[in-house]
Amino acid sequence: MRNLFGIRSVLFSVLLLAMSAASFGQFGVSIVIAPPAMPVYEQPICPADGYLWTPGYWAYGDDGYYWVGGDWIQPPQVGFLWTPGYWGWGGNAYAFHEGYWGQNVGFYGGINYGYGYGGRGYEGGRWDNGRFAYNTSVNRVNTTMIHNTYNTRVVESNTRVSYNGGQGGVEARATAQEETASRERHVAPVAAQNTHAQEARSNPELRASVNHGNPPATANRSEAVNEHAATNEKESAKEPAREPAKEAVAPNAKAEEKPAAVAARPTPAAHAGDLEAHKTTTPNTGNAKTDQKYQQQQNSLVAKQTQDHQKLQQQQEKQHQQLTKSNASEPKKQQVEQQHQQQTQQLEQKHAAQTQKVQTHQQPAQAPQSKPAESHPSNEKPH
């Protein structure tokens, strides 16, 4: 029965592929297993003026999901922007909606691809009189070589879910504006994008079954990016770096704290065995006995959290051994890997909440503020 279902899934995927070849912009491959979470990776520096960032995504091939890294691409014509493709649940399977070039950014599933693609529209740059201006808040741009830049802060969500709808997927629907954009004239991915995707498909390191959802960051940068990046590095070594322009803040507006770049965030652990051991902080309440009591509480919590790590690690290793003995299929292995990653992240979120609760409780009590002395009116003007 299971083999019959697998055959039907493959036939359904082939049918959708044939349909998408005949009608651009509809669905690509379809599969019953959700793609892995979006990995955390570092954006390569923009190779030259006129290149636009196209974010990385999970594609599906004969060996399961594989990672197609983000790349800097020259748009097919001036004024065009990239709408990323995305995976969406269709009721009985996940289908991939192909990306496209157009004058406006359409719906891409509400997926947070990072670097300006936060789920709605694009905040990584804009066209200005036939020239593209880069937002250096979310893009790596060599400002000694590219001067058409600006700096506007972008707040991105922390979600790394890579698909829309279904169990655990992003719950987002297209707005009226995005639906309008989807009906405008589109251009399919350019040759450089197709070549980049083909290279990724043939690279075993980029398969989810091999990298467990954490592909190498620079495994498949395109030749154009590599060549231009090398040139930029040489040129930047000759010229001193220019300080980026400061962002103008509206009067009386509360400036938001600038979020850390996506690349600066640590790569989430995929398995319990990858987790770092928790550490304690030294209490400093000013009372030696209280500090000793708090230190014991922290030691006890860290010991319990370490046991949680070991228990989950043993459980995951046992499942890996069972998969190896049963010669499980690639889709089954990917499903287990996603479960392990979710288990690991949920455990760390639980531990983080426990640690924060303990440390907050152990903060030294603040002395009550004294009542300010009454002041009498004065004719003296303030300085």
Residue 323: predicted pLDDT:
75
Pairwise CA distance, residues 41 & 111, whole Å: 16
What are the CA-CA distances from residue 334 to residues 8, 14, 169 (Å)?
19, 21, 17
Q: Are strands 86-89 and 163-164 parallel, antiparallel or unpaired?
A: parallel
The H-or-E segment that residue 14 falls in is: helix 2-22
Residue with tokens 């793609």: 35
pTM of structure:
0.55
The H-or-E segment that residue 356 falls in is: helix 330-361
Which pLDDT tens digit goes with each residue over 261-303? 333 334 456 677 777 777 777 777 778 888 788 788 888 887 8
Which pLDDT tens digit goes with each residue over 308-335? 888 888 888 788 778 777 877 766 776 7
Contact 205, 235 (CB under 8 A): no
Residue 288: predicted pLDDT:
82
Among 105, 113, 107, 141, CA closest to 56 = 113
Which distant-in-sequence residues (6+ apart) come within 8 Å of 294 by Cβ? 283, 285, 362
| Residue ranges per structural domain of the chain | 2-238, 270-360
Residue 258: predicted pLDDT:
39
> In whole angstroms, what separates CA 360 from the centre of its chain?
29
Q: Which positions of the chain have pLDDT values less than 70?
A: 1-30, 218-270, 330-331, 334, 338, 360-383
Residue 378: predicted pLDDT:
41
Residue 297: predicted pLDDT:
84
Pairwise CA distance, residues 287 & 364, whole Å: 9
Residue 268: predicted pLDDT:
52
| Residue ranges with strand state E in the chain | 27-31, 52-54, 57-61, 64-68, 71-73, 81-83, 86-89, 94-97, 100-102, 125-128, 131-135, 149-150, 163-164
Question: How many Å is the Cα radius of gyration of the chain?
Answer: 26
Residue 2: predicted pLDDT:
42
Amino acid sitting at position 20: S
Residue 355: predicted pLDDT:
75
